[in-house]
């Protein structure tokens, strides 16, 4: 995945999975070093990327562009919209960990996030049995 200036990066299923895993690893490093705002922000992105990976898994290469309404929902940071288009919504309702993760927003990059919120999100994502990313990875 070379960085190519201002040109949009084309990401595939494999890239999105790799980036999702990398973001949650980075979130843990930040959490362990008391950088709670950055940890919260990157942890949420790990879910965004994971949900986009699930969607891309089901789209054959060189296929016709999917339904425009669905395609437009992929250009969002809204985890609820991404969950809907990923096709796995039923796996998360009800899920106590999703109820924590669903409120993440890319807008947190402009906020100071308290330690408790950062830890709660990280735990909701990585909990070994029913964590959001744990469940998604089972479907990869």
* Domain ranges across the chain: 13-139
What number of helices (H) and strands (E) belong to the chain?
A: 7, 0
Angstrom distances, CA of residue 40 to CA of 13, 46, 49: 24, 10, 15
Of residues 140 and 31, the one with the higher pLDDT is 31
pLDDT one-digit tens code per residue, 83-99: 777 777 777 767 789 98
pLDDT one-digit tens code per residue, 49-92: 999 898 888 766 555 555 666 666 666 777 878 777 777 777 77
Q: Is the pLDDT of residue 27 over 90?
A: yes
What's the pTM value of the predicted model, to 2 decimals?
0.81
Angstrom distances, CA of residue 23 to CA of 16, 29, 99, 139: 10, 10, 20, 19
- For residue 68, what pLDDT is reported? 62
Of residues 121 and 139, the one with the higher pLDDT is 121
| H-run or E-run covering 52 | helix 36-57
- For residue 38, what pLDDT is reported? 98
Angstrom distances, CA of residue 49 to CA of 12, 53, 109, 116: 11, 6, 17, 24
Strand positions, DSSP E, 14-104: none
Q: Is the pLDDT of residue 128 over 80?
A: yes
């Amino acid at each position: 995945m070379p960085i190519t200036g201002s040109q949009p990066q084309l990401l595939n299923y494999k890239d999105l999975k790799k980036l999702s895993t990398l973001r949650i690893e980075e979130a843990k490093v930040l959490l362990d070093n008391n950088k709670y705002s950055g940890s919260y922000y990157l942890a949420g992105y790990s879910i965004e990327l994971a949900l986009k990976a699930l969607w891309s898994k089901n789209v054959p290469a060189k296929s016709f562009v999917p339904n425009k309404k669905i395609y437009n929902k992929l250009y969002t940071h809204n985890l609820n919209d991404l969950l809907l288009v990923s096709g796995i919504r039923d796996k998360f309702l009800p899920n106590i960990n999703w109820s924590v993760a669903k409120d993440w927003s890319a807008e947190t990059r402009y906020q100071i996030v308290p330690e408790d919120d950062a830890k709660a999100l990280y735990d909701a994502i990585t909990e070994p049995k029913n964590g959001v990313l744990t469940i998604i990875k089972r479907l990869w």
